[in-house]
Structure 1
Amino acid sequence: MSFASRSQNNITVGFQYRGVLELVLFSAPITVPCCVFLFINGTMLFTLRSKSVFRETSRYILLYNLLFADTVQMALAQLMYLLSVSRIWMTYPVCGVLAMLTELTNDISPLTLGLMSLERYVAVCYPLRHATIITIRNTGVAIIAVWAFSSLNVLTRVILLSEFPFEELESLQMKDFCSDIAMFLGPMSDHYDKAYACFLFLSAGVTITCSFIGVMIAARSASTDKASAHKTRNTLLLHLVQLGLSLLSTINDPLIIAISKILDRVSILRIQSILYVCIILLPRCLNALIYGIRDQTIRPILMYHLCCRLKLPRLGSQPR
């Protein structure tokens, strides 16, 4: 009996070790890059608050808002991913809070991209009035309006959750991992989510496209700075690409629901991890890299902070 007990304990420990090893090997290729990009985003946010030129310029304030929302979104998404791969089931209220915070920050990106496009449009088409229209105060009011609009969407989702008969549940403990899909507890929530996503991205897309067309028309004018118009045109094209990448996140849930009907659970989890990296993680990592490398004002200061304030020969002298 003693030998049998020891053998059974060895087998149990072996399975537990295998489970932990598989968990580490499965989550490490995703968690490590995410931590690296969180560090880059955090450094970028610190950079945008380190100099008065960034704190007092509207387009850098809007960029800070965009990166802040992306960083919080990425951190929340990674937390929910680690909880799911660790097979930690939460209660519906806790999952609801995480899902709503994720939804709140997810809406900020397309709305902020629309504001950034309008700011560039005014800078090119109305250069003499840019300083009076795009002020620090107006920028702050616009950012508050963006967060208020996103919060209203979250409040509407919370109200729609009231249609689900929670009192009929044996327990508030979830029987699956926490995700946005798990909080679609009624058909009305699903219909509202689709309608809101279409409205959000259509509005942002129309705003960026109209700004792009306005800049192209202004570029043909003899009184317009050609170099500035050309640079703004490329920036607006970049905003369209960023909006397209953000739009990919809206197809994540429908894809998972579709494949869940034809594949087993293990295959679903693997595909979900791939979609998480390509659709959720990468688009939010690119913003900091694109602006950090592309902007001549941000680049030297960002590299200085990324290198832990070391004075490297290749970076030149320390930024003042």
Structure 2
Amino acid sequence: MSSSQFNNTIEQQYSNSLEIFVFSLLSTVPACLFLFINGTLMFSLRSKPVLRYTCRYILLYNLLVADTAQLVVTQVLSLLAISRVKLTYGVCGTITTIANLTSGISPLILVVMSLERYVAVSYPLRHASIITIKNTAVAIIATWTVSSLNNVTRNLFLLEFENLGSVMMKDFCSDVAWFPNSLCEYYDKVYTAFVFISAGLTVIFSYAGVVIAANSASTDKASALKARKTLLLHIIQLGLSLSYTIYYPLLIALAGSVKRVVFVWVQRVFYVFIIILPRCLTSLIYGLRDKTIRPVLLQHLCCKRKALSETVT
């Protein structure tokens, strides 16, 4: 089924204002909840010097920025589709470019975070000299640059189309609908496969290095165990990030094979668990597991003004 047929199916499904309201609510409520959690964690990471100037927390902050921006953009696209609002190719292209930029940041930042944990466990005496604020900033700039260059390359496929920016789209705005050049689809598949294979191998290498280092008598066993758990979570997060790329193909496959009512509910469930939930897992994983972040995060989430039970300097 083509993207045009897929969008026509969507238009038929949201045929009355009640359905628009109900299904907008089903996606907007969890999205707003997760945005609140992400925003609170981002504020918490900037509230204490130890959180502002520690390299792994700087990386976490940038990961949160990318995930939060991705959540906002995808929610806007979802609401536009539900409300049957169509855009010009220029406007849709701008929105989807931002979505692709931010979605490409997450796996790259996770790679850097995995390498930081590997260095912390395998080379504890050199960790402070390797993982510096300057080197962390360079790594962050590199991740944003790689993702930006990917989007520039994608947009080069549009050079053969003239005055495309002012043309109204026939379909609703989505990443599979706005690109008139089919070559971009093949490029996206190759790039996505390369990024996630490279990222997966890097995280696995880091995990193996931590396991080997854990067997050393000079290694802090508790720190190594914690690093192993963190790296396993990174692998899960990479898988969740990859799930974003299969969202539209899954819906296209289902649109012509199930009843309308079933499809609508399945679509909302997929959206929450494939698009929204992975964007919030970072907050839940790091905000609640990390002993330094947890008291600050809970204080801000609960809006408490009493002294923290654990002192953070």
Amino acid at match of 2:121: V
Pair 1:47-2:80 in alignment: no
Q: 1:294 aligns with which of 285, 289, 297?
A: 289
Structure 1: which 4+ aligned runs deviate by more than 2 Å? 18-22, 256-274, 308-312, 315-320
Pair 1:202-2:212 in alignment: no
Contact 1:212 1:233 in 2 (8 A): yes
Compared CA separation, residues 231 and 277, structure 1 to 2 (3 A): same
Compared CA separation, residues 112 and 298, structure 1 to 2 (3 A): same
**Aligned counterparts of 1:318 and 1:196: Cα–Cα separation in 2:** 45
Q: Which residue of 1 aligns with 2:274?
A: 279
CA shift for structure 1 position 255: 1.5
Q: Which one has a bigger Cα radius of gyration?
A: 1
Q: Deviations over 1:152-191 (max 9, x none)?
A: 000011101224x456x8x711122111011232221010
Percent identical: 58
Compared CA separation, residues 304 and 318, structure 1 to 2 (3 A): farther
Pair 1:233-2:224 in alignment: no
Contact 1:208 1:239 in 2 (8 A): yes
CA shift for structure 1 position 88: 0.8
Q: Which has the higher contact order (CA 8 A, sep 6+)?
A: 2
**Aligned counterparts of 1:101 and 1:272: Cα–Cα separation in 2:** 23
Contact 2:111 2:199 in 1 (8 A): yes
Q: TM-score, normalised by structure 2?
A: 0.89
**Aligned counterparts of 1:83 and 1:48: Cα–Cα separation in 2:** 32
Compared CA separation, residues 24 and 43, structure 1 to 2 (3 A): same
Amino acid at match of 1:65: N
Pair 1:219-2:247 in alignment: no
Q: 1:186 aligns with which of 181, 185, 206?
A: 181
Q: SS where residue 157 of structure 2 aligns?
A: helix
CA shift for structure 1 position 268: 5.0
Q: 2:135 aligns with which of 115, 138, 141?
A: 138
The two structures, once aligned, show a CA RMSD in angstroms of: 2.1
Q: What stretches of structure 1 of length at least 5 have no aligned partner?
A: 1-17
Q: Which residue of 2 aligns with 1:27?
A: 24
Compared CA separation, residues 90 and 106, structure 1 to 2 (3 A): same
CA shift for structure 1 position 265: 6.9
Contact 1:41 1:71 in 2 (8 A): yes
- Output aligned runs, 1:1-320, within 5 Å: 19-163=16-160, 165=161, 172-262=167-257, 268-311=263-306, 316=309
Q: What stretches of structure 2 of length at least 5 have no aligned partner?
A: 1-14
Number of matched residues?
A: 298
